[in-house]
Structure 1
């Protein structure tokens, strides 16, 4: 797949432009309503699908299918991110009006880190073909562990990351609006909002360890890996405000995500033996995700966050919360 330099520049310009629009639209702290989140989610999804259409038209159905497969994998795993973010915000009692600012800079950092992860992963596969099998085995084991894992409700305030931040940085227990740092006397101290931002960034690194190998299982073209990741991540903030209050409904989400990880892991392990058609992969990923969501909504119909039928933590929340 021949991708000219100007195409990379155009994609980066679109991403930066959309981030700027989003920042301007939310420059004042306010609580993001479900209606606003739904509108922004529609914008981000439409942008991601439109770019996929461009890839399909310019580079063919094969490249388009690989892009959409990667996009769908990242989008489905992003739902799991939403639940962990909700746990972090709840644990630190982050005012709803300040949550968008944390997620904005969290996504900005995630794009940079994902680019580094992708570059490293592609370079490893180019130089050491056997790493392919390591990634595949890792995804299969991760999927099995996710499937077998009992529901847990980890406390972000007891994570190693939180303890390290409190030990290394001077912090305050009081919020100061949307500020990450405040001056106290002669020194600068971090506010709880900065601590939350660090936890969000670390969480994304943990999730990237799963999502990047998963996307590399469907395509090893750097342009497709990066763009499918980027356009899926761009809608993460809006997705959070849209789904955070519904996380108790997705009781079978972990089962669907586990099936997706096992599927792409097996595909990666068999890549040199059996070439699984991209269309088949895309179809199965869609089937697993839709089945998990529909089954969850049917199972929890009429329930509220405080009366979940199993009285347990939602399946979407697991112990991949900040390490």
Structure 2
């Protein structure tokens, strides 16, 4: 398994992630449950994007980007480009995560001041899940080259499916996971702060907060299955794959609060993401016939995202079809809506 990740690079990256999560935890604990403002979300989004590019710059320098060795400079430039492309693709696909999170929070009437903790737990789960899946995926590709074709076909299918599903509201009332939880657990009719369990009339019950956390975890799994094969179309280096994924995820919470109020403005973005997935799938299927340069992949991704965002602002959205649910499914009080 070829990688640029030296023991020092892996150690510094791991140390950074641990420190970033600790800072985030302490900040969240100090602030307590509160509604995240758009200004706060914008500041933290810029911070995470800035930190990601600082890391990319450090990696480029460490690999010899400023040295006199032409081969080292070329390697540093290639890896930096792979990181930026992978980061942008993962960031773009994360937007779809955000819209699903928003749908869940709206459906379950999660109070705004509690959403921050839910997202933090979801991010921790996503980090652990993706780290494991990336290592397994990298090993499979090393051992079995044909796995790239499987990934490509899957992304092609996912992109087409996303295109046809764009603009349709999912019916959470018929979600299999939610139905299973309703049958297996006694669920309280209302929230009890940020607790996962509460007592109602002497009976211990799971709170709606626990249900939301469980569904967020399932969403993490579904989107990891889509996004991880996508980054392997850009590079098979485990260090680049993992770092670009992790940096995209670390800024996910701030990006959620920044975009949550603007999701209707970018109603065509799902079509753009579908096109990107189809392109990446085709790239993987053609890998032994023609290897599309990473720079072309980056340019195509930026172009598609820019066009769909501009068109979203120019073209009015269609009236959404009536969706199942929409009201709190366990009888939560109106004050939580």
The corresponding residue for 1:4 is 6
Contact between 1:249 and 1:296, CA under 8 Å: does it hold in 2?
yes
Q: Which residue of 2 aligns with 1:39?
A: 43
Q: What is the SS of the residue equivalent to 1:249?
A: coil
Greater shift after overlay, 178-187 or 85-94? 178-187
The answer to whether the 8 Å contact 2:4/2:237 transfers is: no
Q: Which residue in 1 is equivalent to 2:58?
A: 54
Deviation at 1:150, TM superposition (A): 5.2
Structure 2 residue runs without a partner (length 5+): 64-75, 322-337
Deviates more, 1:248-257 or 1:169-178: 169-178
Q: Distance in 2 between matches of 1:135 and 1:199?
A: 25
Q: Across the two proteins, how many residue pairs are aligned to each other?
A: 305
Q: Tell me how far apart the structure 1 counterparts of residues 238 and 275 of structure 2 sit (CA, whole Å).
A: 25
Determine which of 286, 300, 303 is the counterpart of 2:302: 286
2:104 corresponds in structure 1 to 88
Question: 2 CA distance for matches of 1:154 and 1:147?
Answer: 14
Q: Which residue of 2 aligns with 1:312?
A: 320
Q: Matched residues in 1 for 2:33 and 2:101: separation?
A: 18
**Match of residue 230, structure 2, among 214, 237, 247:** 214
Aligned position for 1:204: 220
Q: Give the secondary structure class of the aligned counterpart of 2:198.
A: strand
C-alpha contact 2:265 2:313 (8 A) present in aligned 1: yes
> Residue 172 of structure 2 corresponds to which residue in structure 1?
156
Q: CA 1:32 to 1:145, structure 2 compared with 1: closer, same or farther past 3 Å? A: same
* Partner SS state of residue 15, structure 1: helix
Q: 1:150 to 1:73 in 2, by over 3 A?
A: closer
Deviation at 1:148, TM superposition (A): 2.8
**Alpha carbons of structure 1 residues 157 and 55: separation in structure 2 relative to 1, 3 Å:** farther
Runs of 5+ in structure 1 lacking a partner?
301-308, 314-323
Contact 1:91 1:157 in 2 (8 A): no
**Is the 2:57–2:80 contact (alpha carbons within 8 Å) kept by the matching residues of 1?**
yes
Question: CA offsets, 1:86-135, max 9 Å, x none?
Answer: 11001111000000000000000000001111112111111111111111
Alignment TM-score, normalising by the size of structure 2: 0.86
The aligned residue for residue 22 of structure 1 is 24
Give the aligned CA root-mean-square deviation in angstroms.
1.7
Counterparts of 1:293-308 in structure 2 under 5 Å?
Answer: 293-300=309-316
| Distance in structure 2 (CA, Å) of the matches to 1:185 and 1:56 | 61
1:227, CA displacement in angstroms? 0.6
**Distance in 1, Cα, partners of 2:198 & 2:7:** 42
Does the Cα contact within 8 Å between 1:56 and 1:65 map onto a contact in 2?
no
Choose which of 254, 257, 260 in structure 1 pairs with 2:276. 260
Matched, 1:104 2:120: yes
Which sits farther off after the overlay, 259-268 or 96-105?
Answer: 259-268
* Stretch of structure 1 that moved more, 98-107 or 14-23: 14-23
1:212 & 1:188 partners in 2: Cα distance?
39
Task: Check conservation: 2:87, 2:247, Cα contact below 8 A.
Answer: yes
What corresponds to 1:189 in structure 2? Answer: 205
1:216, 1:232 → 2: CA distance? 15
Q: Deviations over 1:196-229 (max 9, x none)?
A: 0110110111111110000011011111111100
